[in-house]
A = this chain, B = another copy of it.
Amino acid sequence: MFVLVNLKAYPCDSIAVATAARDVADDAGVRIAVAPQAADLARVADTGVETWAQHVSPIDHGSHTGSTRPATVADAGAVGTLINHSERRLTLADIDRAREVAADNGLETIVCANNPAQAGAAAALGPDAVAVEPPTLIGGDVSVASADPDIVTDAVTAVTQVDDSVDVFCGAGVSTGSDVAAAADLGASGVLLASGVAKADDPSAALTDLVSKI
């Protein structure tokens, strides 16, 4: 299981979360990454934690003021990127292009989707993984794996049918080790989470609990 912590634009101390993530990953032997804002990537990567971008633009070099070029986030230390998060949706064409340019620059890619049908669609574009996150559960207290386990298994079925080399992650409401274990039982290869760690009083304790049943 891979645990990816999205810091969004939360008022958290990104360096403190990154350091905790690095240490818990080392201690538990579990893969944990942190995804900060683009302007914060270099600082977070300097901690030694695995660092991901929250988004990349579907562009390479050129006249693209205010964009997030995949090569620039890679230079800043990112090794992977989310694409099409529900808070940063892209057109189908842009998801396709962003994934392609990200891969060309050595970034791993996880494309987000709201439901199993969209997960299957995202898989057809050839990312490393697809994350299914029902928007209604994002930011809530109930994990998708308990609230609606069929969404996860249906996403695994839809993705596998299109391309069985694409992993499935699940997100929305994940906050405990039991949530992570439930996701794994349903066929997920990883979890996406945000507030459960980024807003925790003790991010290290939250992460330690999260990976306790892997």
- Which residues of A approach B to under 8 Å, CB–CB? 6, 8-11, 37-43, 53-55, 57, 59-69, 72-73, 75-76, 78, 82, 84-96, 113-115, 117-118, 120-126, 138-139, 158, 161-162, 194
Q: Which residues of B contact A53 (CB under 8 A)?
A: 39
Q: Determine whether the beta carbon of B118 is less than 8 Å from that of A96.
A: yes
Q: Whole-angstrom distance from the CB of A141 to the nearest CB of chain B?
A: 15
Apart from the given pairs A66-B82, A121-B124, A124-B162, 17 other A-B contacts in the complex at a CB distance below 8 Å:
A8-B62, A9-B61, A10-B61, A39-B53, A40-B72, A54-B65, A63-B139, A64-B87, A65-B85, A90-B91, A91-B92, A92-B95, A96-B118, A117-B124, A118-B124, A121-B121, A124-B124
Q: Determine whether the beta carbon of A63 is less than 8 Å from that of B118.
A: no
Contact among B6, B37, B39, B69 for A9, CB-based, below 8 A: B69
With A66-B88, A124-B117 as contacts: A39 and B76 at CB distance below 8 Å: yes
Contact among B37, B76, B93 for A69, CB-based, below 8 A: B37
Q: Determine whether the beta carbon of B54 is less than 8 Å from that of A66.
A: yes
Q: Determine whether the beta carbon of A40 is less than 8 Å from that of B96.
A: no
Q: Determine whether the beta carbon of B139 is less than 8 Å from that of A121.
A: no
Q: Please, how many angstroms separate the alpha-carbon atoms of A57 and B194 in the complex?
A: 20
Q: Please, how many angstroms separate the alpha-carbon atoms of A126 and B73 in the complex?
A: 32
Q: Which 7 A-B pairs have the closest CB atoms?
A: A55-B66, A66-B88, A120-B124, A89-B91, A121-B124, A65-B87, A121-B121
